[in-house]
Amino acid sequence: MCGIMGYVGKEEAWPIVVGGLRRLEYRGYDSAGVVTVSRKRLRLARSVGHLRALEDSHPEGLPGTVGIGHTRWATHGGVTQANCHPHLDSAQRIAIVHNGIIDNVEALRKELVAQGVEFRSETDTEVLAELIGREVAAGRGLRDAVLRALRRIEGTAGIVAVDRNDPERLVAARIGSPVVIGLGDGACWVASDALALRPYTDRMVVLEDSEIAEISPDGVRTVDLDERDRDKRVEKILHRPEEAEKGDYEHFMLKEIWEQPLALDRSMRGRLDAGMGSSRLGGLETHEQRLFDIRRVVFCACGTSLYSAQVGAYLMNRYARMPATAEDAAELAVQNPIVDRHTLYVAISQSGETADTLGALREIRLRGGLVAGITNVVGSSLARETDFGTYVHAGPEISVCSTKAFTAQVLATELLSLRFARMRDLGANEGRAWVAALEKLPAQTQGMLEQWQLCKQMAERFQAAPYTMFIGRGINVPVASEGALKLKEIAYVSAEGLSGGGMKHGPLALIEPGLPVWALVPPDETRERMLGNLRELEARGAYIIAVAAADDTEVAELVDTVVPLPPHHPTVSPMLTVVPLQLYAYYVALAKGYDIDKPRNLAKSVTVM
Ligand code: F6R
């Protein structure tokens, strides 16, 4: 959600810190601020609204070669300038930026108020700043002060702090909220997301939970909360800087929709075994023996990732004959889950930082469960905290609305299901047919994208529709839900994704003449029953847009518009049928003039429960 950027080096910090915050804008925020240190004074700039407002209020920037900045998404206290980060202690000596939530803030605030502290904001961060400030005032170095203050808090904190009396140094800490440090020659950068670092360096150190780093222009020294030195591995930031830029596209969302063929291709490269009709997933192979004992798979995720998980569960049941379910991670974490050693848990998260998904996997691991991770973000918490896992390599996804991560995550569940299927019931020839279908997928997805004009036409026609229905059966039920989620999220249209089988049990009552209904009717075992749904819809005058085989004349006669599908293996259809739904949502939002990449009330990465 919130973004952190810091710099210490020889150059002016302001443009670097603001530039880093700009690259984190996609996460969503409502105010921004920066502190620099110059001549042993903290220089502070804060502003409600976009970064542009912060820059306009300080056209010259702030002086100093060390600085920290923050984009805030209000949690404790309203969207006001006083609540913006950075926050200073009452002696105005130290400043901090903070991501996360301090659960015991009220008790700490009371204690400090009783000692005469007058807080200027409603934030938990100011309380933490005061705790650190008091330690520094008592003669401790900044790192020790941060350490002692952190020992007093309960909750989550990704923080960076600076002391005006020691301006050659930043101190960063991670208690549950991500912090990464970029390494350069005579300079270091610190951020909540590697995306902000990439223009400056491709070398980073990722803080683990409960680690504190002292960052100077010469490098980083990391200790744990017990002050034991930690040996840190220098990791490579894999994406290219331009991958996080819009290029010629009007919106990141459109760019990311069009990147799907490339993302799928990259994601499956080296992972298909055409000869054996199987897949190879690096992380999986290290636990291969244990996998033979698995009798059940439980996927867990949130939002769009949950829909990819539902596709995965379908594939496991249907093709691997492995009992599988997909659980909402937010629910699983609090349900006192029954965990057994013959179950494989698979946590899916684009960002790898979704608090609910991390909460679920921590709960499962605490009970001895084996957890695999599927994520897009290298070095994310999910990647670090699972027993093994796989990266989907979709490239940075900047738009709040997830698109290419969905198809890449579905692909990862395909590869996992194929592997299990081949360990169990699926014969070599059937496995080879599945692999062949996957190999064709990037080109076929490209073919689906070429139908953008038809999707745009539909969007312009129905942009004012107050409600839209999406229906599918079998493997396409989650895709219908995903189509509805996209439309809700960026076009603010009330929408539902439903199973065709459930229509007669209630939702059919919503159908009235002209109501737009997207129907997913691929030529698989669900087609006959979907034809029944189409007849019901047609009889009630719905405007039906079907995603169906190009040569399916029976469907064409029943519906108003067909978005044609190429011939394909039934396992891969979600990665094809979802494309027109993504394009439709995009063009509805475009026609309505909404802020597509940053929809209201939403943030890219939901790091609070
Ligand atoms: C929808 C969307 C969200 C995310 C959800 C989980 O377009 O982006 O529903 O899918 O917040 O996020 P990750 O996958 O990062 O765990």
- CATH number where 350 lies: 3.40.50.10490
My answer on whether 286 and 376 are in the same domain is: yes
Domain final residue pick, 410, 426, 445: 445
Is residue 503 situated within a structural domain?
A: yes
Cα 479 to ligand 1 centroid, rounded to whole Å: 14
Any idea which of 91-95, 114-118, 204-208, 287-291 has the lowest mean pLDDT?
A: 287-291
Q: Is residue 425 part of a domain?
A: yes
CATH code where residue 105 lies: 3.60.20.10
Mutate to test the pocket of ligand 1, among 351, 354, 392, 402 (most ligand atoms within 8 A of CB): 402
**Closest C-alpha to ligand 1, atom 11:** 303
Strands 494-499 and 235-236: unpaired
pLDDT the model gives residue 588: 98
**160 - beta bridge partners?**
97, 172
* 91 and 154 share one domain: yes
Token duo for residue 35: 């502190």
How far does the centroid of ligand 1 lie from the alpha carbon of residue 335, in Å? 21
Mean pLDDT of 351-380: 93
Domain identity same for 529 and 433: no
Q: Within this chain, do residues 183 and 289 fall inside the same structural domain, yes or no?
A: no
Q: Which residue did the predictor score with more confidence, 609 or 556?
A: 556
- 286, 345: one domain: yes
Residues 292 and 223 in one domain: no
Atom 10 of ligand 1, residue of closest alpha carbon: 304
159 found inside a domain: yes
**Rounded mean pLDDT, 436-444:** 97
Determine the Cα–Cα distance for residues 324 and 309; give it in Å rounded to an integer.
10
- pTM for the full predicted model: 0.86
Asked if residue 423 and residue 397 are part of one domain, the reply reads yes
What region does 569 belong to: left with phi over 0, alpha with psi -120 to 50, or beta?
A: beta
Closest of 392, 378, 389 to residue 235, by C-alpha: 378
Given a cut of 90, whether residue 273 has pLDDT beyond it is yes
Domain boundary residue, one of 215, 242, 269 = 242
Q: What pLDDT shows up at residue 374?
A: 97
Decide: 489 in ligand 1 pocket, CB within 6 A: yes
Q: Which atom of ligand 1 is nearest to the CA of 354?
A: 16
> Which of 350, 357, 376, 604 is the pocket-test mutation for ligand 1 (most atoms within 8 Å of CB)?
350
Q: Based on the domain organization, do 473 and 586 belong to the same domain?
A: yes
Indicate whether 386 belongs to any domain.
Answer: yes
Output b/e per residue, 171-203; b: 16+ Cβ within 10 A: bbbbbbbbbbbbbeeebbbbbbbbbbbbbbbbe
What does the mean pLDDT of the chain come to? 94
Let me know whether 426 and 471 are in one domain: no
Given a cut of 90, whether residue 289 has pLDDT beyond it is: no
Average of per-residue pLDDT across 417-434: 95
Q: Is the pLDDT of residue 187 over 70?
A: yes
Q: Give the percent of the chain with pLDDT over 90.
A: 84
SS3 383: helix
Say how many Å lie between the CA of residue 337 and the centre of ligand 1: 22
Local confidence band at 334 (pLDDT 50, 70, 90 cut-offs): confident
What three-state secondary structure class fits 275?
Answer: coil
DSSP 305: H
pLDDT digits (tens, 9 = 90+) for 1-30: 689 999 999 999 999 999 999 988 877 788
Q: Map 198-245 to HEC letters.
A: CCCCCEEEECCCCEEEEEECCEEEEEECCCCECCCCCEECCCCHHHHC
Task: Give the Å distance between the CA of 351 and the centre of ligand 1.
Answer: 8
- 136's tokens: 């520094």
pLDDT at 439 over 80: yes
Please report, for residues 16, 63, 217, the alpha-carbon distance to residue 10 in angstroms, rounded to integers and kept in the order given. Answer: 11, 12, 8
The answer to whether residue 408 scores a pLDDT higher than 70 is yes
Last residue of a domain, one of 397, 420, 445: 445
**Is the model more confident about 42 or about 286?**
42
pLDDT of the residue at 1: 63
Region 600-609 average pLDDT: 76
Number of folded domains in the chain? Answer: 3
Q: In sequence order, what are the residues at sequence separation of 6 or more whose Cβ sits closer than 8 angstroms to the Cβ of residue 463?
A: 491, 588, 591, 592
pLDDT number for residue 75: 73
Q: Tell me the C-alpha distance between 100 and 89, whole Å.
A: 18
Give yes or no: residues 224 and 271 share one domain: no
pLDDT at res. 170: 98
* Residue 141 belongs to some domain of the structure: yes
HEC profile for 18-70? HHHHHHCHHHCCCEEEEEEEECCEEEEEEEECCHHHHHHHCCCCCCCCEEEEE
Tell me the per-residue pLDDT of 474-530, one tens digit each, with 9 for 90 and over.
999 999 999 999 999 999 999 999 999 999 999 999 999 999 999 999 999 999 999
Q: Which of 521, 518, 517, 516 is nearest to 531 (CA)?
A: 521
- In this structure, are 420 and 483 located in the same domain? no
Peptide bond before residue 86 is cis, with ω within 30 degrees of 0: yes
Contact criterion met (CB below 8 Å) for 490 and 585: yes
Active site residue 401: no
- Mark whether 162 and 267 lie in a shared domain: no
Q: Which atom from ligand 1 is nearest to the alpha carbon of 405?
A: 14
Examine residue 602 and state whether it is found in any structural domain, yes or no: no
Task: Provide the pLDDT for residue 240.
Answer: 79
Q: What integer is the mean pLDDT of 192-198? A: 90
Whether 99 and 176 have beta carbons less than 8 Å apart is answered as no
- 603 domain-assigned: no
Domain that holds residue 238: 3-242
How far is 34 from 44, CA to CA, in rounded Å? Answer: 6
Tell me how far apart the alpha carbons of residues 174 and 211 are, in angstroms, rounded to a whole number: 6
318 assigned to some structural domain: yes
